[in-house]
Amino acid sequence: MRDSWIKKLRALLEKGETEDLKSALALASFHIDHSTRKEAELRLMLDGIGRNIPIPYIIGYTLVCGLKISLNKDVLNPGPETVALIEMASEYVVKYHSSQILDLCTGSGAVAIVLARKCNGNIVATDISEKALAIAKFNASENKVAINFMHGDLFEPVRGMVFDVIVTNPPYVKSGAINLLPGFVRDFAPLTAIDGGDDGLFFHRAILSGAKDFLRPGGSLFVECEDDQDKDVEELAAKSGWDTRRRLTNRHGNTRGFMFT
């Protein structure tokens, strides 16, 4: 019985029907046989729902552009803005046949994996967290794509390399605001993936000031930001000689990312 419920629950997740998934989990609680190990595992899922743990962390994966991306507490669950950033970068990569691509702060590897499916080029992905790289490598293997994963801080691992495209979703939460985040975010977001320093822009400064050294002439930088950081990010970009080519806006009309050249 447990297997049939898990199949139903995962089918609902793949359809993005979160509320239906919660209802199904609640209904499943009436069918649990606590004497079996498998049913105990389902009970853990139900307990996670009760504690407002994000659904992808409960069942261990999410879908990004149709690809299955496994998750755990060492990586962030890619949000809708990250997915939109991936789609914007993918459109560019396909249109201009970009062959050398860098995914900076790769986390789960979602950005690099989707881009690897879109082009036949060389994909490099870096992260400072070895634990994050471990799950990113697993995800790449499961999705049957070849990516060169490198461990280190920002551009450090790719010294001497140049790219056509750089895509990044860096940490951008203000250090002082982390304790104000919802409990499930604090509990399930690795600190290295969210802490952007005092003003949330520590990594944006480093990336915007250094990325040109790793881009070929005419190359493009795609970067995500918080919805109240767009003016500051664009100002930092202008100071480092970047031109704004495209803005990534969410359904509320707020800017959540940029394409710079």
Confirm if 75 and 107 have CB atoms less than 8 A apart.
yes
16-46 per-position pLDDT tens digit: 455 555 555 555 555 555 555 555 556 666 5
Separation of CA 56 from chain center: 13
Return the domain boundaries, the chain: 2-51, 73-260
Burial 231-240, CB ≥16 within 10 A → b, else e: ebbbebbeee
Q: How far apart, in whole angstroms, are the C-alpha atoms of residue 188 and residue 27?
A: 26
Closest CA to 78 of 65, 88, 94: 65
Check whether domain 73-260 has CATH 3.40.50.150, yes or no: yes
Residue with tokens 């879908």: 63
Closest CA to 94 of 69, 116, 125: 116
Percent of residues in the chain assigned helix, strand, coil, to nearest 5? 50, 20, 30
pLDDT in tens, the chain (261 residues): 456 655 665 565 555 455 555 555 555 555 555 555 555 556 666 566 656 677 788 778 999 999 999 999 999 999 999 999 999 999 999 999 999 999 999 999 999 999 999 888 899 999 999 999 999 999 999 999 999 999 999 999 999 999 999 999 999 999 999 988 877 777 778 899 999 999 999 999 999 999 999 999 999 999 999 999 999 999 999 999 999 999 999 989 999 999 999
